[in-house]
């Protein structure tokens, strides 16, 4: 297929044909050029698809797009015969040619690896674009008139923020908390530090990532010295509003003056699980716990979730901040996923797509802890200096993993994701497995988190073992820390098995069924016992297809088995009669009357109930399994007769030896000779 653009009302100047536009290395010429003058119709501005009475419309157009049919080689107005974007078309056939041969199908071009055509792209540095993108205050105007609620979050004293609070309060780390007085928090901050002092401590030539607020994108080429000069300018002399939110200072002299809150240090995965011999200067490890944030007045950080859903501690040394929060509900996270990384970010207020937006104002000296996955935006009313950091923990692992999925689906570059995330998960899984083997006690929330972690690691193990893409298999293997883990798939599956037992589930490779049983004498509330075949069959069947996971039930409960013994009359099946099974495979066995032989029936009844929410309500599945054993009285008698005969034979033999002394009270056993 070839196409070209030409003027509709060109002049017929001999020897001045309009050149064709080159497309995909195939040069073609539209109608009206010198090469096709003989074949052109008398009215060169009409095409085979033009309708009567539309000539005036085409004449009104200064330029018109043409497309050539790849079968009949005729030229058509794109407006007459095409739909969509002409630039995206690969092969094109006119309607008569398509009707003549069903194999002729219009195709699109494949995405180019590197397009030679110049595209109009959004200039995030604001150097070329004009209009609304140059205005840093457009974010504030966007939220004018929106419904924003006062926050309902707790204000706590520093001494109250402890691991004990985290494990005893079911609402702990579910919502942001504000600590107005940091005494007792275990926090250490350089309260007298300035931006110039930071530049001096870290070095004026140290590169720093600076964000242009108007476009919410990085500006290259900045150093701490240049930033300190900009920050200390009077506000009216600043050419743009800029922000620094990602200056990580671990391993520097400045880091020695900062200590995160005690709770953060006690639950942080990097602190707890990453080997101490592989941290510090000269080692590659997740350096995310010490950040310096420097923003000038009117700076805005648009809606985001911190990488991997990590929690955040945030202490204001100087200035003030205004936070806007959205809860990380499944619906809100789905809305954020649709909004993030799309054109919607430039003209849509995310709060309109979510249920509630809360506003929190912080002043100098305040500390805030933001829990896992909370969506937030930040406004800076005045020049502000902040120290904070990110941390992963075991109290909401499922949401951390969900946010990571969003990062992957929205194509967040690896540079902006949590560093060494998968490797840290393997370290965490290895330590949790050792603790489970050692019968360590875990809070219920932690057990739920370990189970989510185990499911993630098993998925990683499957990728290693049977991933469809070799590159993905190698990448998954490279994430395993070989210094601690020798058999990653075995570790992942054992961790899942043990945590499901600790959580009260009968564990299978891909199935969870919860048992109802007393907690006396149990570990983590669940007695340990071997699994039977009945339990293994209690859940759904294993997935038929690789990587297929059936939709899980929210709760699956196996009720205790009920046993019953009774006597019934029923004709005994005849072995020679091939149709005997028909009478016994009906839903209900019809009991015989009259002279039918009596049978003893022992039955075991098991019930499994499954429930899950749906868009319209809920689904409830009740699985009842009854195992019956029928034994006819005549068969019992037959089985008893050989036993009696064997006993008689044992006591009436022809042995010449004297009988042994009985062990029951010294009574003799008398034997008769057969002579």
Q: Is the CB of residue 548 less than 8 Å from the CB of residue 575?
A: no
pLDDT under 70: residue ranges of the chain: 1-45, 52-63, 84, 110-134, 506-550, 574-579, 587-594, 635-675
Distance CA 645, CA 660 (A): 22
102: how many CB neighbours lie within 10 A of its CB?
7
Q: What is the pLDDT of residue 136?
A: 73
Query: pTM for this one?
Result: 0.60
Residue 366: HSE in the Cβ half-sphere, 13 Å Cα cutoff: 19
Q: What is the pLDDT of residue 371?
A: 96
In CATH, the architecture of 3-108 is: 2-Layer Sandwich (3.30)
Strand 210-212 versus strand 177-181 pairing type: unpaired
Helices (H), 288-410: 330-339, 397-409
**CATH number of the domain at 421-528, please?**
1.20.58.1360
Q: What is the pLDDT of residue 61?
A: 46
Helices (H), 11-124: 55-60, 78-81, 95-100
Give the containing element (helix H, strand E) for 16: none
Distance CA 212, CA 301 (A): 10
Q: What is the pLDDT of residue 62?
A: 45
What topology is assigned to 134-412 in CATH? Jelly Rolls (2.60.120)
CA torsion sign, 489 to 494 to 499 to 504? positive
Q: What is the pLDDT of residue 513?
A: 52
Helix axes 397-409, 444-466, angle to 10 degrees: 40
Q: What is the pLDDT of residue 217?
A: 84
Distance CA 317, CA 179 (A): 14
Q: Is the CB of residue 47 less than 8 Å from the CB of residue 4?
A: no
Identify any residues that bridge with 390 across adjacent strands, giving them in sequence order.
312
Q: Find how far residue 633's CA is from the centre of its chain.
A: 61
Q: What is the pLDDT of residue 468?
A: 78
Q: Is the CB of residue 324 less than 8 Å from the CB of residue 292?
A: no
Q: What is the pLDDT of residue 509?
A: 46
Q: Is the CB of residue 462 less than 8 Å from the CB of residue 490?
A: no
What are the sequence ranges of the domains in the chain? 3-108, 134-412, 421-528
Q: What is the pLDDT of residue 549?
A: 59
């Amino acid at each position: 297929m070839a196409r070209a653009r030409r003027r509709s009302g060109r002049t017929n100047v001999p020897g001045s044909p309009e050149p064709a536009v080159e497309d995909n290395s195939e040069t073609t010429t539209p109608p009206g050029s010198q090469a096709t003058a003989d074949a052109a119709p008398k009215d060169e501005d009409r095409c085979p698809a033009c309708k009567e009475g539309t000539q005036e419309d085409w004449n009104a157009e200064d330029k018109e797009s043409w497309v050539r049919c790849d079968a009949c080689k005729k030229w058509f107005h794109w407006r007459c015969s095409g739909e969509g974007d002409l630039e995206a078309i690969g092969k094109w056939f006119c309607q008569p040619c398509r009707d003549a041969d069903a194999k002729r199908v219009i195709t699109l071009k494949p995405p180019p690896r590197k397009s030679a055509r110049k595209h109009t792209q959004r200039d995030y540095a604001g150097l070329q674009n004009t209009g609304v993108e140059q205005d840093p205050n457009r974010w504030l105007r966007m939220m004018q008139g929106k419904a924003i609620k006062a926050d309902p979050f707790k204000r706590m004293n520093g001494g109250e923020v402890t691991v004990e609070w985290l494990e005893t309060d079911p609402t702990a780390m579910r919502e942001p908390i504000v600590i107005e007085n940091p005494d007792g928090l275990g926090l250490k901050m350089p309260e007298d530090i300035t931006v110039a002092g930071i530049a001096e401590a870290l070095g004026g030539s140290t590169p720093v990532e600076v964000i242009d607020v108007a476009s919410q994108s990085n500006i290259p080429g900045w150093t701490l010295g240049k930033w300190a000069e900009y920050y200390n300018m009077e506000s009216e002399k600043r050419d743009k509003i800029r922000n620094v939110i990602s200056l990580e200072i671990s391993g520097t002299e400045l880091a020695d003056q900062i200590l995160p809150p005690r709770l953060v240090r006690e639950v942080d995965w990097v602190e707890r699980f990453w080997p101490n011999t592989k941290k510090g200067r000269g080692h590659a490890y997740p350096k995310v716990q010490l950040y310096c944030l420097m923003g000038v007045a009117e700076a805005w950080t648009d809606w985001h979730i911190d990488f991997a859903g990590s929690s955040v501690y945030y202490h204001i040394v100087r200035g003030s901040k205004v936070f806007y929060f959205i809860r990380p509900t499944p619906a809100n996270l789905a809305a954020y996923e649709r909004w993030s990384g799309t054109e919607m970010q430039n003209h849509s207020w995310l709060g309109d797509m979510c249920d509630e937006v809360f506003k929190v104002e912080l002043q100098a000296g305040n500390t805030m802890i933001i829990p896992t996955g909370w969506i937030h935006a930040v406004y800076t009313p005045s020049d502000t200096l902040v120290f904070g950091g990110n941390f992963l923990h075991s109290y909401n692992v499922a949401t951390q993993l969900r946010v990571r999925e969003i990062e992957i689906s929205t194509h967040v570059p690896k540079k902006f994701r949590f560093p060494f995330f998968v490797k840290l998960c393997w370290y965490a899984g290895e330590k949790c497995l050792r603790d489970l083997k050692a019968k360590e006690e875990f809070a219920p929330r932690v057990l739920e988190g370990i189970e989510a972690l185990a499911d993630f690691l098993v998925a990683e193990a499957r990728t290693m073992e049977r991933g469809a893409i070799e590159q993905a298999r190698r990448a998954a293997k490279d994430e395993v820390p070989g210094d601690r883990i020798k058999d990653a798939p075995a570790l992942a599956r054992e961790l899942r098995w043990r945590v499901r037992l600790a959580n009260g589930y009968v564990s299978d490779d891909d199935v969870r069924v919860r048992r109802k049983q007393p907690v006396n004498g149990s570990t983590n509330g669940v007695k340990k016992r071997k699994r039977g075949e009945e339990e293994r069959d209690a859940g759904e069947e294993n997935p038929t297809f690789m990587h297929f996971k059936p939709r899980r039930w929210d709760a699956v409960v196996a009720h205790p088995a009920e046993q019953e013994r009774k006597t019934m009359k029923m004709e005994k099946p005849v072995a020679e009669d091939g149709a005997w099974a028909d009478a016994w495979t009906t839903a209900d066995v019809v009991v015989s009357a009259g002279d039918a032989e009596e049978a003893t029936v022992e039955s075991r009844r098991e019930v499994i109930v499954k429930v899950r929410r749906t868009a319209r309500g809920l689904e409830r599945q009740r699985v009842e399994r009854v195992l019956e054993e029928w034994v006819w009285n005549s068969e019992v008698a037959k089985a008893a007769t050989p036993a009696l005969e064997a006993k008689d034979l044992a006591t009436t033999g022809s042995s010449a030896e004297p009988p042994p002394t009985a062990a029951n009270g010294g009574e003799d056993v008398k034997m008769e000779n057969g002579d």
